[in-house]
Chains A and B, each alone.
Chain A
Amino acid sequence: MKVQAYFARHAQTLLGSLGRLVGQPFATLMTMGVIAVALALPLFLNLFLANARTATGNWNEAFELSVYMDKRASAARVATAAKQLRQRSDVAAVRIITADQALLQFRDDSGFGKALDALSENPLPDTLIVTPTLAASTPEGTEALKGAIAGMADVQAVQLDTEWVKRLHAMLDILRRLVALTAALLGAGVVLIVGNTIRLDIQNRRTEIEVMKLVGASDGFARRPFLYSGIWYGLGGGLLALILVAVAGAVLARPVDALAKLYGSPFHLQGLRFGMAALVLGLAVGLAWLGSWLAATRHIRAIEPT
């Protein structure tokens, strides 16, 4: 009976504070809106990051190393080198482009056709195109493979075009930290916003709190409705933030798909996952509760009947 009464009382307070918020729809929506914007901003950035990582992840798999052989190496020695490479555990495939094939292709692609005929001999070397395995397709893995190949006999030079990928990853790393920083700052913002709203609310209901204390209410009892208000603010703000992100995702999905198609990529814009959405809601409620707790604890203690 006692436990039941306890829960009934809490449910009553919970609904009571909701009713109070609904009674002032404009002010309530304003506060929830501010919370939503503060939460949506880092969410957007985070989604952007997740999508960028998916997109570059696809490119990552397309790494290839161009191995230029010594021009003095015979065709047999080039074939031996290719065979050696195929036996490595971090190599998925090796393709040989002979000097003649390379010249033909260059002639077609470059439009220098006639000019090239003037050359007395083919200036291009035999080339091996090495594709690392998926497991070795990390910046470190390909770097190690490059070193190993450079040490092989008859190899003139190894070219690995990963500089730009490394730079991109470095940029994404910075971005990820920026997102974390922004999220932390805006999270603190949510705590302050809710704290301030609750502080004003307490000021407006000062007389009521005084009366409650006079008839025997503890600080905890007087604080309870304000904590519930904070929880509602967080829940409302979190839901609004999720709606904002969903709407933005819907607006962007079509043009992003169109862009990906232009690049011949199967890339598809990723929306919020359920787990992420739940996390955002939980975080919103937690932060708002913290803000209301800080404000209510401090300001209700200060109100004493006179």
Chain B
Amino acid sequence: MIRFDQVHKRYANGREALAGLSFTIDDGELVFLTGHSGAGKSSVLKLIALIERPTRGQVFINNQNTAGIRPRAIPRFRRNLGVVFQDHKLLHDRPVADNVALPLIIAGVPKREVDKRVRAALDQVGLLGKEKNGPLELSTGEQQRVGIARAVVAKPALLIADEPTGNLDPELALEIMKLFKRFNEVGVTVVIATHDVHLIEHFAARRIALSDGRVADSGLARVPGPQ
């Protein structure tokens, strides 16, 4: 599904975020990317979403070398990918339903189908009945769940999240993580960047620990107690 091969990323300001990073994530896996801030977690996600391109090395998504994806083809590529952000990135001047519907409208899904799938997605994140609310009327945890609903509404095979629990208290954070776990259980490949090592101890999932732009440690997290 995802393969990084000796990937280097150096930004215009000279900072080297990734230094020869290699790893593979299989179809249907749930993977936590961990590491201190600046370890390269965000860079990995940006390379997967084609927000950035590698300086050297290669990134394969679905056996396709992303270097071969032209700028014009990026929108289509992103429609097969769900992205969740720490700051939600919701459009505050539109109701929840419109925010969630955005990827479907962009993909040209007929209106009746859009309504149905928006309700299904909101149901999955437990926000059915909040369609007409504005995002700012919701709590931070609810806003994050709107963001997740938007990421999954088009049923992407790959879901990536950058610090999705960064602004949440531990209880809400755990709930959000369980939500991701549930999507993973129905076959979605999920990659979550987080610095919260305690939180992910609850999940039996592989983690890739980054340090200075390289893999420092990779393996299954310790098997948790009751989830």
User: Which A residues are within 8 Å of any B CB, using their own CB?
Assistant: 1-2, 4-6, 8-9, 207-208, 210-219, 221, 304-306
Contact = CB atoms under 8 A, between A and B. Distances in A.
Contacts of A217: 75, 106
Nearest to B151: A215
Interface of B: 49, 51, 72, 75-79, 81, 83, 89-91, 102-103, 105-111, 150, 154
Contacts of B89: 207, 210-211, 214
B77 to A, nearest CB: 8
Contacts of A219: 75
- Secondary structure at the A interface, as helix, strand, loop or mixed, is helix
A290 to B, nearest CB: 23
A218 B78 CA distance: 10
Given A208-B91, A211-B91, A306-B51, A9 B102 contact: no
B71 to A, nearest CB: 9
A71 to B, nearest CB: 91
B78 A216 contact: yes
22 contacts: A1-B110, A8-B110, A9-B105, A208-B91, A210-B89, A211-B91, A211-B102, A212-B102, A214-B49, A214-B78, A214-B83, A215-B83, A215-B150, A216-B75, A216-B79, A216-B81, A216-B103, A217-B106, A219-B75, A221-B75, A305-B51, A306-B51
A212 B106 contact: yes
Given A5-B108, A5-B110, A215 B102 contact: yes
A73 B81 CA distance: 106
B59 to A, nearest CB: 17
Please name the 4 residue pairs, one residue from A and one from B, whose CB atoms are nearest each other, closest first. Answer: A216-B79, A216-B78, A218-B75, A5-B110
Contacts, number: 59
A284 B75 CA distance: 33
Contacts of A214: 49, 51, 78, 83, 89
A8 B110 CA distance: 9
Most chain A CB within 10 A, of B103, B106, B150, is at B106
A208 B106 CA distance: 13
Given A214-B83, A215-B78, A306-B51, A6 B103 contact: no
A217 to B, nearest CB: 5
Contacts of B51: 214, 304-306
Contacts of A212: 102, 106
A9 to B, nearest CB: 7
Contacts of A5: 108-111
A306 B109 CA distance: 27
Contacts of B49: 214, 305
A113 B154 CA distance: 106
A216 B105 CA distance: 10
Nearest to A1: B110
A213 B83 CA distance: 12
Contacts of B91: 207-208, 211
A211 B90 CA distance: 8
**Taking each of A1, A216, A217, A306, which has the highest tally of chain B beta carbons within 10 Å of its own beta carbon?**
A216
Contacts of A2: 108
Nearest to B153: A215
A216 B107 contact: yes
B158 to A, nearest CB: 13
A8 B154 CA distance: 20
With most chain B CB atoms within 10 A of its CB, the pick from A211, A212, A215 is A215
Nearest to B51: A305
Contacts of B75: 213, 216-219, 221
Interface centre among B102, B107, B150 (most CB of A within 10 A): B102
A195 to B, nearest CB: 24
Nearest to B112: A5
Nearest to B94: A208
Contacts of B77: 216
B78 A9 contact: no
A188 to B, nearest CB: 31
A191 B78 CA distance: 34
A6 B51 CA distance: 28
B111 A8 contact: yes
A292 B95 CA distance: 27
